[in-house]
Structure 1
């Protein structure tokens, strides 16, 4: 599913799940997505399934992203193929729900600038299969080069991208009349540190950050 097809309505029930997330490896999945050619990008941020249910819907995710300074792709255009991930929930390998980019202060057109000069971006998958239905959102976050460098990842770009997103999220943020309070916890053991199997052969520290997002008003 590409960004232009990402519905603002969600079929996800507005109810709390019982778990923050399930480790993809426990169900035969992977904490690396499939970027092609046998390599993957780390799923290095998880929005907890214990977050407010309104955050975990399609529309809720987009509004939260706006609160952090991110928006849909420029003019809803998507360049290149979608990446896929297996979250170990019984759904197998599925395409990303959406790709979201830093908007440089303009939710309307700022991601067009990001497409030119580079910046932070992330892809999203939802863990909702019958074998591991946490409702958690798994994000592959990275910082990329500008268009002249073909949007390759900057050196140390997976760790940098994760940290920038987390820094923007933690604490109190708001957008569209919704206010969020977000806490972060670093998780080890889900993702092996290093560059083995990682796209662009860029090493990362093996930390996955779990964000718990609460709607406070």
Structure 2
């Protein structure tokens, strides 16, 4: 098949005009506060407007972790290695929360929510739904302004179903600490994949106290950065 010279020029111009794929930045994360984001989720649908309340993004899975850990399937497997799994029978009650990670995407709904599985990856989260326990929401930093691939987690301990799954007293700090303690206790394994995790506590991302925090529960201002390596 022959092309005229004008057709060749058109195809060449089209090829040049195609946008280049966005490469993931080789950094642990970018502070959402520096570019219009914040380290609290949006729990009430106000998207950062006055009076907006949210849950602290108190754990970050570093963008320098093993690449597979930062994928949807890879993070689920890692979560299962530290005692979390998909929700009871795959069902989710309640609306998703959103977050603005300062990456250019604005407010985006959580990628997924996982619950403590009490040692049973398939049905253990049904027990968490009944009696309460730890749970987490996942948000990915992947916009064009900060494409780090880091996963920002809102972790908290919650009450049982009779209490409407509200957060327990000091539940944000307790949830974060429980997750981190399990992660760094040694090598963790799920479905034949093993991980080592290194933790670092950061104190410059979240203010301590109750300002903007859902349920008026104070936090200590600590965000735990986890770097996860597949071994």
Question: TM-score, with normalisation over the residues of structure 2?
Answer: 0.86
Determine the structure 2 residue equivalent to 1:34.
42
Structure 2, unaligned runs of 5 or more: 1-20, 47-51
Q: 1:69 offset after TM fit, Å?
A: 1.0
Q: Which residue of 1 aligns with 2:179?
A: 165
Counterpart in the other structure of 1:81: 95
Answer yes or no: is the 8 Å Cα contact 2:24–2:147 preserved in 1: no
- What do residues 136-158 of structure 1 show as CA deviations (whole Å, max 9, x unaligned)? 00000000000010000000000
Equivalent position to 1:198, from 169, 194, 213? 213
Instruction: Name which of 20, 42, 53 aligns with 2:28.
Output: 20
SS at match of 2:155: strand
1:94 equivalenced with 2:102 (yes/no): no
Aligned mates of 2:42, 2:200 — CA distance in 1: 25
Listed as ranges, the gaps of 5+ residues in structure 1 are 1-12
- How far 1:17 sits from its partner (Å)? 4.0
1:135 aligns with 2:143: no
User: TM-score, normalized by length of structure 1?
Assistant: 0.91
Give the whole-Å Cα distance in 2 for the aligned partners of 1:208 and 1:73: 25
Higher mean C-alpha displacement, 29-38 vs 155-164: 29-38
Q: Does 1:117 align with 2:125?
A: no
Q: CA RMSD in A?
A: 1.3
Give the equivalent residue in structure 2 for 1:179. 194
User: Which segments of structure 1 move beyond 2 Å, counting only runs of 4 or more?
Assistant: none
**Secondary structure of residue in 2 paired with 1:153:** coil
Give distance in 2, aligned partners of 1:18 and 1:33.
25
In structure 1, what is the Cα distance between the partners aligned to 2:39 and 2:179? 18
> Helix, strand or coil: the match of 1:25?
helix
SS in 1 for 2:197: strand
